[in-house]
Amino acid sequence: MKNNQKIKYKTSLNFEKFVNYFQPKFIDINGQKVTKKFPWNRIFWSLIVLVLIALIISLIKPDFQNWTIFWKSIGNFFEVNKVIEIGSTKITPYQTFVKSLQLLWRTVSYSILGTILGIAISIPVSLLSSKNFIKNKYVYYPFRFIMSVIRAVPPIVFAFIFWFLFSSSLAATLSIAIFVTSIMSKWLYEDLDTYDVSAYTGIQSIGNGKVIAFKVSIFPYLIKRIFSYGFYSFEMVVRFAAILSIVGISTIGELLADNYATINNYSHMSIVIWILVSFMIILEFINYLIKKYFLEFSAKHPNIDEQLSYEDKLKSLKKQKPKIYIWKIVFGIALLALICASLVQVNWAIGNSIKISQFKTGISKLFNPDWTLFQTWTNSKTNPVVLGFEALLVAFAATLIGFILAFIFGILASKNVNKYFAYPFKLIIITIRAIPPFTFALLFLILSKDSKIFAGVLALGIHSIGMLGKLVMESVEKIPNKVFQSLDSLGSSWFQKVYYGVVKAILPQALSNFLYRAELNFKSTVVIGAVGASNFGFQISIYSAQFQDWDKLSSYLIFTIVIVLIIEQISNLIRNKLIKGYFFAENSWITQRINKVTFLKALAVNQITEENFVHDIKYARYLIAKFNYDKLKFIEDFNKNQYQNIQNYHSILLQKKELNSIFKQKYHELANNLKKIKSDVYKQTKASISTEVKKIQFIKRHKIALKSANIACDKYIESFSGV
């Protein structure tokens, strides 16, 4: 019996030691109490990532069966002066080169017009979606929701729909415009939400109108963001426009698919790819000029000879004045010329009567989803939920692969980290970014014999390297040189500079980009699905092309919209945590609810320990953590006592149990008091304003009463301060 008690005693004691190990430790540093918590979050997320990686690997089923054939086919890209045959027609490399340039110009024309139209629409939409300018949430929330829904729909679907309404070139332009509007409006209203509007309101307060206030205070800031985001959007839509060949619209993408996408014709496909790469390099150079002379331009301090007369000083200043306006004029003329030339490429016509009739039939089906698809769980080949989660897996796995490699390539491509070998890595990023994802999918379908999922993961993963790598590179190049100079002065090695100066600085933003890229990759499964690398995307592309199946398309779009909206909300929460340090805003009801519970627990502890209470959330958390630690401290003190026995140990456990009971009792008393105060104040306030606010406006009355009740609750908690 004694042995059993001894074993039970030791087991219980060891368990308490184990629990105590994970509790916060309290360190006194020069009289200041510091709480050192166990790194639960780091361990938890590390385990989650490891489990997800293992799960992804098991589900995507890596397949390298055709490795030899794949590498042989890659060799065909480097064959020079090869004449290919498409049907009975022989095509020389020169003919492919000329046709590539013609189709590239057509693609760029659609992209220019679509981007400008999208930007023009996104400006008022972003202003109407911004909390800073539209205070009424019943205005900005609907606009945000509509844009989120539009953004959730794969842009290729809009191209298919517009193809029935307009000419193919106009359909391409409008689908690009919608795509640009959806992403630009989000970027702009997020920027406007963080903009300090004090100057805007100040200008109005001295008698100026809203238009003048907007022009003077906000427009200069907004125009820079429009240029920056607009150029990035243009680069994105050039690749999207290339993909429109799937719809049947003549773009450069038709030379990267169909007859050219056979192993024997890869030498001509490589010509198209290098033309796209060259175009991307030109875009990078133009982007550099725009940043240098428009977005980030700062005039040098003039050199003035103090011995000169006043008039000569003025002349000297005028001569040294930067001729930035010349660049602006040149840029404006070039842009206007490109717009005029692009307008000629578009056939501004609606579809014929047959196509419009088909559209009317299809649109009626689009608003009548085929719900039976959701019921066919046994047939996973058509169920949107099953295929959708498969596509989500592809998107997440691809983004993870792309993120890891992009992080490395992006750092190595930045000049302030890799001075001598940055340009080769930049070229790699540009090359990858220039190639549309469906081209990668066609290649990896050769590699993967039995796993389409694996081919899709590789295609989107490699494509993500280019997109994320550019963002990482730009983030690194924004780090001031002073950071690296200070690390050099400390004798840091290159790896230490990268870790402390780069990785820690850009990781939150890089993870934020990772989440956004995962959302884009989910929609991109439609593109790779068109060539067979994603079952979900394949179904959407097939149903989009046939107006008779738009009811089935609607079912897939419903699932897509729901998933993308959920991903977007989760991404926003995680981005808030990464960048701002919290999941929910301080004024959100979730945060307020959590804080109230925390304060009540701290008050309960305060009444037990009789320590001074401070109405501060950090101090409240400290009190709770300290109380939990002190309960286990009994066990720690007992362990240090050399006269240990079972009876003493049981008495300590009993004390701990009684302490928990008292804590619960105090907490419930305080919670009931707070609940009663809230209820009483709510009823009194609602009754008192019933004469002032119409009874029909019950929502307004409820809000006023609830606000008063919450204020009363806060006052009740504050009343314990100093007690």
Q: What is the pLDDT of residues 68-122, one digit of tens each?
A: 888 888 887 888 788 888 777 888 888 989 999 999 999 999 999 999 999 999 9
How far does CA 445 lie from the centroid of its chain?
29
Q: Which has the higher per-residue pLDDT, 143 or 194?
A: 143
Exposure string for 266-283, b = 16+ CB within 10 A, e = fewer: bbbbbbbbebbbebbeeb
**522 part of a folded domain:** yes
CB 701 within 8 A of CB 690: yes
Which of 584, 614, 646 is at the close of a domain?
A: 584
Q: Between the CA of residue 204 and those of 197, 198, 211, 247, what are the distances in Å? A: 11, 10, 9, 50
Look up tokens 């003329």; give the residue: 333
Residues 618 and 567 in one domain: no
Helix (H) or strand (E) holding 85: strand 84-86
SS3 letters across 97-130: HHHHHHHHHHHHHHHHHHHHHHHHHHHHHHHHHC
Residues 598 and 578 in one domain: no
Residue-number span of the structural domain to which 262 is assigned? 97-298+322-351
Q: Which has the higher per-residue pLDDT, 336 or 200?
A: 336
Residues 593 and 572 in one domain: no
Which of 525, 554, 584 is at the close of a domain?
A: 584
Q: How many CB atoms lie within 10 A of CB 13?
A: 16
- As a whole number, mean pLDDT of residues 216-225 equals 82
Provide the Cα torsion 239, 241, 242, 244; round to 10°: 130
Q: Residue 9 has what pLDDT?
A: 59
Residues 629 and 495 in one domain: no
Q: Which has the higher per-residue pLDDT, 344 or 639?
A: 344
CB 355 within 8 A of CB 161: no
- As a whole number, mean pLDDT of residues 205-210 equals 79
Interatomic CA distance for residues 506 and 478, integer angstroms: 10
User: pLDDT tens for residues 581-595?
Assistant: 555 556 666 777 788
Task: Name the pairing type of β-strands 89-91 and 84-86.
Answer: antiparallel
Residues 193 and 255 in one domain: yes
Q: What is the CA radius of gyration of the chain?
A: 32
In terms of Cβ atoms closer than 10 Å to its own Cβ (0-12, 13-18, 19+), residue 399 is buried
pLDDT for 688 beyond 70: yes
User: pLDDT tens for residues 156-186?
Assistant: 899 999 999 999 999 999 999 999 999 999 8
Mean of pLDDT over the chain: 81
Q: Number of folded domains in the chain?
A: 3
Q: Residue 643 has what pLDDT?
A: 43
User: pLDDT tens for residues 631-672?
Assistant: 655 555 555 554 455 556 566 666 777 777 888 888 888 888
Q: Between the CA of residue 116 and those of 3, 94, 146, 258, 659, what are the distances in Å? A: 84, 33, 21, 31, 68
CB 578 within 8 A of CB 595: no
**2 part of a folded domain:** no
Q: Which has the higher per-residue pLDDT, 585 or 320?
A: 320
Residues 543 and 398 in one domain: yes
In terms of Cβ atoms closer than 10 Å to its own Cβ (0-12, 13-18, 19+), residue 171 is buried
User: pLDDT tens for residues 551-578?
Assistant: 999 999 999 999 888 888 887 777 666 6
**58 part of a folded domain:** no
Q: Residue 269 has what pLDDT?
A: 85
Positive/negative CA dihedral, 76, 243, 341, 166: positive
> Would you give the DSSP letter of residue 480?
-
Q: Which residues pair with 25 in a beta bridge?
A: 36
Q: Residue 642 has what pLDDT?
A: 44
Which of 584, 612, 641 is at the close of a domain?
A: 584
Residue 405: pLDDT band with limits 50, 70, 90: very high
Lowest mean pLDDT among 243-252, 496-505, 713-722: 713-722
Q: Residue 121 has what pLDDT?
A: 94
Lowest mean pLDDT among 213-222, 365-374, 497-506, 618-627: 618-627
**309 part of a folded domain:** no
Interatomic CA distance for residues 452 and 61, integer angstroms: 9
Spell out the residues 6+ positions from residue 251 whose beta carbon is closer than 8 angstroms to its own: 103, 106, 107, 110, 172, 241, 242, 243, 244, 245
CB 234 within 8 A of CB 290: no
Look up tokens 């304060």; give the residue: 599
**51 part of a folded domain:** no
Q: Whose CA is closest to 573, among 561, 584, 586, 565?
A: 584
**665 part of a folded domain:** yes
Residues 618 and 566 in one domain: no
By residue count, the chain amounts to: 723
CB 464 within 8 A of CB 406: yes
Interatomic CA distance for residues 637 and 38, integer angstroms: 21
Q: Whose CA is closest to 245, among 258, 235, 264?
A: 258
Interatomic CA distance for residues 201 and 196, integer angstroms: 10
pLDDT for 1 beyond 50: no
Residues 559 and 670 in one domain: no
Positive/negative CA dihedral, 449, 560, 360, 253: negative
Q: Residue 673 has what pLDDT?
A: 86
Residues 579 and 601 in one domain: no
Kindly state the tokens that stand for 100. 């590539």
Helix (H) or strand (E) holding 86: strand 84-86
The CATH number given to whatever domain includes residue 389 is 1.10.3720.10
Look up tokens 């539009």; give the residue: 150
Interatomic CA distance for residues 105 and 344, integer angstroms: 12
Residues 565 and 691 in one domain: no
**78 part of a folded domain:** no
In terms of Cβ atoms closer than 10 Å to its own Cβ (0-12, 13-18, 19+), residue 417 is buried
Residues 278 and 382 in one domain: no
Kindly state the tokens that stand for 164. 């029935």
Which of 223-227, 606-610, 691-695: highest mean pLDDT? 223-227
User: pLDDT tens for residues 8-35?
Assistant: 656 766 676 666 666 666 555 555 555 6
CB 468 within 8 A of CB 402: yes
Residues 526 and 550 in one domain: yes
Question: Within 13 Å of residue 168, how many CA atoms lie on the same side as its CB?
Answer: 11
User: pLDDT tens for residues 434-493?
Assistant: 888 888 888 888 887 777 888 888 899 999 998 899 888 888 888 888 888 888 888 888
pLDDT for 384 beyond 50: yes
**82 part of a folded domain:** no
Interhelix angle for 93-129 vs 219-243, to 10°? 140
